[in-house]
Amino acid sequence: MIDPHTADSNSGGVFDTPTAGAFTPGALLSIRGVSKHFGGSVALKDVDLDIMPGEIHGLLGANGSGKSTIIKILAGFHEPDAGDFWIHGQQVNTPFGAGGLRHKGVGFVHQDLGQVPNASVLEHMVLDAQTENRGLTRINWRLERDRVQGLLDRYELDISLDAPIDALYPVQRALVAIVRAISSQEEYVQAGNAGATLLILDEPTVFLPKHEVDQLFVMMRRLKDQGSSVLFVSHDIDEVLTITDRVSVLRDGKNAGSRVTNDSTREQIVEMILGGRFEHISRTFTATDESAQLVLSTSGLKGHRAVDVSFDVRKGEVVGLTGLAGSGFEEITDLIYGSRKLEGGSILVYGADVRKPAPDSMMNRGVVLIPADRKGQGGALSLTVLENMALPSLSTQSKGWRIKWRQLRQRMASVCRELRVVPDNVDALFGNLSGGNQQKALMGKWLDQEPQLMLLNEPTQGVDIGARMDIFRLIRSAVDEKGMGVVCATSDYEQLVEIADRVLILSQGRIRGEIVGQEITKDALAAAIYAEEAA
């Protein structure tokens, strides 16, 4: 069913890109020409977006397309470099200040929901109401209890006011977060401000089990029926096709177009997300030697999201793992390395059973991990490059009473030179290196240990093109020359095309597909990932 508002303004299938420079009459929120740079990289370039009253509007885009940047601008986390904003037909000047557009009736539910596990539902709801009251104003608990209960009843939510957040189902937590945002919006409306409100949901379904998502959709339809608008940010095309009236797509920080959902096919939307860039990166494949020794063999891995993951890695093989966020692919490397608690399953390294995987014992078996969170887990930012690179050799083999700093310095300096780490100075602070150079240094420190198996988690996140190529070259040469096995978990399809011999696609904690050799292309990966999700 097409919402009347949307149908009026768009008789054609493809919604025209909003007229540049002026706001669209009748739009609840109009954004024109928003740009944002972070350092040298462009996050948003000249983006326009219109949200009409009473519509559910989907916002889609691949990783790094600028979806979250635009939300963060509206929420006041980032200040745009350029751009004009109209809400309820009135222009709003930037910067919006700390609260973003909240004071204009825009509510936000972020992916992490912003909740405290052991505080109750009621306490969360009262927190917002109290931010207006200063200091030691007495909280009238009975009144608040009635107000919040009324709110929950109105949306037919059967949630106890006194339940702590961690006792709720994931979808109930999301619903509480939504009601919390709505409750602040109601205050805005009660304060005499006319007009519909806008609720922005930033990837609320990522951490929800499939069967709970419907409850969220019921809530969204209810809001729409009240005349409110919802901006639904997601990377799940099927969810967007199910629930939205219109959909806008961002690609590389630019508008890739807006469409009326009912007149769109999933193929058209996939094409908008990925663009026409289906070019292949030339690469020679050497068929994996089936007789090669098994470096790693896992069966039934179970973790936070992974349910049952079994796969093998042979000597000289690069196995890619991918899927949607929340599908479990992102935790597999940590489960194997023991940096995240393994709930079940078994891991064999060179045929030997690893009972309780832990980083130190894994290192002794020749397994190393390059974590995704480089700044938090990769290296200590306030220590030098040399100290960071020397750590693995000091933690496993604490030989003798004296660290031979001179030898270490020479060795690490030559590793850095080989990997083209800049600045060419091992005494520089690790934190002063760019992302790409930090990653090269970490890669170098581990390759220096000549590992048997390298676990990579988003290895080129935030890494520039040049460094990225250096990193692939390094991995490839260690694989081809030394027979190192690699597991590479990433949501970057291009990366898998470039380095993987075999890609496993995860969905809801299980392996649901495999693409081998020449078959690994960006569109094949995208098709497999989204197809699995639809099934």
CB 295 within 8 A of CB 349: yes
Q: Residue 96 CB, nearest distance to other proteins (Å)?
A: 23
Q: Residue 455 CB, nearest distance to other proteins (Å)?
A: 11
Interhelix angle 141-154/170-190, nearest 10 degrees? 110
Closer to other proteins by Cβ: residue 122 or 354 = 354
Q: DSSP states of 100-157 as a string?
A: GGGGGTEEEE-TTTT--TTSBHHHHHHHHHHTTS-TTPPP-HHHHHHHHHHHHHHTT-
CA distance 253 to 46: 8
Three-class SS string for 157-176? CCCCCCCEHHHCCHHHHHHH
Q: Residue 454 CB, nearest distance to other proteins (Å)?
A: 13
Closer to other proteins by Cβ: residue 64 or 379 = 379
Cβ neighbors of 187 (< 8 A, separation 6 or more) are: 129, 132
Q: Residue 421 CB, nearest distance to other proteins (Å)?
A: 9
Closer to other proteins by Cβ: residue 25 or 376 = 376
CA distance 224 to 282: 48
Q: Residue 141 CB, nearest distance to other proteins (Å)?
A: 31
Closer to other proteins by Cβ: residue 172 or 460 = 460
CA distance 409 to 215: 59
Q: DSSP states of 46-92 as a string?
A: EEEEEE-TT-EEEEE--TTSSHHHHHHHHTTSS--SEEEEEETTEEE
Closer to other proteins by Cβ: residue 147 or 283 = 283
Q: Residue 252 CB, nearest distance to other proteins (Å)?
A: 17
Q: Residue 378 CB, nearest distance to other proteins (Å)?
A: 7
Q: Residue 424 CB, nearest distance to other proteins (Å)?
A: 7
Closer to other proteins by Cβ: residue 64 or 371 = 371
Closer to other proteins by Cβ: residue 53 or 379 = 379
Closer to other proteins by Cβ: residue 227 or 466 = 466
CA distance 492 to 300: 25
Q: Residue 472 CB, nearest distance to other proteins (Å)?
A: 12
Cβ neighbors of 211 (< 8 A, separation 6 or more) are: none
Q: Residue 463 CB, nearest distance to other proteins (Å)?
A: 12
CB 441 within 8 A of CB 430: yes
Q: What is the CA radius of gyration of the chain?
A: 26
CA distance 47 to 250: 8
Q: Residue 511 CB, nearest distance to other proteins (Å)?
A: 25
Closer to other proteins by Cβ: residue 220 or 433 = 433
CB 456 within 8 A of CB 367: no
Closer to other proteins by Cβ: residue 366 or 483 = 366
Residue 245: closest CA among 57, 5, 489: 57
CB 228 within 8 A of CB 52: no
Q: Roughly how many angstroms between the first and final C-alpha of the chain, as a whole number?
A: 24
Q: DSSP states of 390-406 as a string?
A: HHHHHHH---SS---HH
Give the binding site for other proteins (CB under 8 A): 337, 339, 359-360, 362-364, 369, 371, 376-383, 387-388, 390-392, 394-396, 398-399, 401-403, 405, 420, 422-425, 427-429, 431-434, 464-467, 469-470
Closer to other proteins by Cβ: residue 247 or 426 = 426
